Amino acid sequence: MVALLLPPMISAHDFGVAGFYYNILSDSTVEVTSFQDNIVNWEGDEAPVFATGDIVIPDSVSYAGKTYLVTAIGEKAFFRKLSIKSVSMGNSVTTIAYRAFFRCEEMTSVTIGDGVTEIGDDAFQYCEKLETVNFGKSVKTLGTSAFSSCLKLTSVSLPNSLRIIGVEAFSITGLKSVTIPDSVTYIGGDAFCQTHLSGNLVIPNSVTYIGWNAFSGCSGLTSVSIGNSVTTIASGAFYNCNGLTELRIPDSVKTIGLRAFAYCTGLTSLSIPGSVTAIGEEAFRACTRLKDMYCEIMRPQDVDMGRNCFREMHMASCILHVPKGKAASYRATAQWQDFKYMVDDINVRGDVNSDGEIAVADVTALVDCVLTGRHSESSDVNGDGETNVADVTALVSMVMGE
């Protein structure tokens, strides 16, 4: 008889204690890998605590005479555990991994420990009854779809440690308001898409990038204040935000993406800064109520324009305001020339000597303004309401193309 050799059974965990299974990560740390709620043979000495109702991830766990810190909640650890009502965790946990609590559809609240720095992709996605999220003070990254489709989540207080809001992080949630802390630098695509955000939205000066469709369909927003570090407003970022009435794009923005503000049908006033070098296809499509567009671009012929940037706008009634002395340039440039009414009445910040250019001569003129105490709209380069050395520094950067 030939002996049949079978491979040894491989366990999905290293040990179990008091209701949780763990994997050993190092000589002193472990991650939670699952919850066993129908236990026959338990590997540890402690009695299990079943996954019903409120669960608590401990700071540390002892097994076989050794104590380990619990530093992670592993991938799919509590995947679709419908019995969980709430979760809290010790401060030793630093990572909540991919789909750790995916589709825990009965969960209503979660308290994230102060040690957590990263919440992984899909970590709490489809927790449809989740109403309360208490963030710890160390979270830096919210992964893709971290809280997507949490339909009852209406408000969150994001921690001041947060840097990255990932793609679809809060998409299709019940969010009505959010305060984005001034630690955030990146807002990913679809991050707040199809939420119930309303009123005023403030994007702080720390943010440099607003992703595609980031606030698409947030029709309750009535105003948006965009910080002066944003360089890119990506495709569809504010698509169909039809509650917006006025919008001033900051001087830092260089790229306005495809349909970035399309179907913002409530807009009546729009300001485009001179820093813009590219406007995507149909960027302002169907902004049908726009009455005044203020464009500070000095050389419209140099802007990379997508097709039909102003499609379905009422260009026969909207007044295009351009820098002084630049009307002829706009009338000679495709798409801009389609505006019936054009007024060259803008004093562009930085064009201190009003010659229609921003150059070294303006720096000289601005220094003279500072020394003599003169102030004007064009000398207030950084827009703080004053004319001082800070404006000279800002203007030098503009001239050098920084």
Q: Is the pLDDT of residue 14 over 80?
A: yes
- The confidence score (pLDDT) of residue 1 equals 42
pLDDT tens digits for 335-373? Answer: 999 999 999 999 878 888 877 778 888 888 878 888 888
| Beta-strand relationship, 66-73 and 109-111 | unpaired
pLDDT tens digits for 206-253? Answer: 999 999 999 999 999 999 999 999 999 999 999 999 999 999 999 999
pLDDT tens digits for 260-317? Answer: 999 999 999 999 999 999 999 999 999 999 999 999 999 999 999 999 999 999 999 9
Domains of the chain, by residue range, sit at 360-399
Q: What is the dihedral of CA 355, 270, 396, 369, to 10 degrees?
A: 60
Model confidence, pTM: 0.86
Phi, psi (degrees; rounded to nearest 5) at 221: -70, 130
pLDDT tens digits for 311-326? Answer: 999 999 999 999 999 9
Q: Is the pLDDT of residue 41 over 70?
A: no
Cα distance between residue 60 and residue 46, in whole Å: 14
Q: Which whole number is the average pLDDT over 90-95?
A: 95
Return the number of other C-beta atoms located less than 10 Å from residue 246's C-beta.
14
Q: Which whole number is the average pLDDT over 125-146?
A: 97
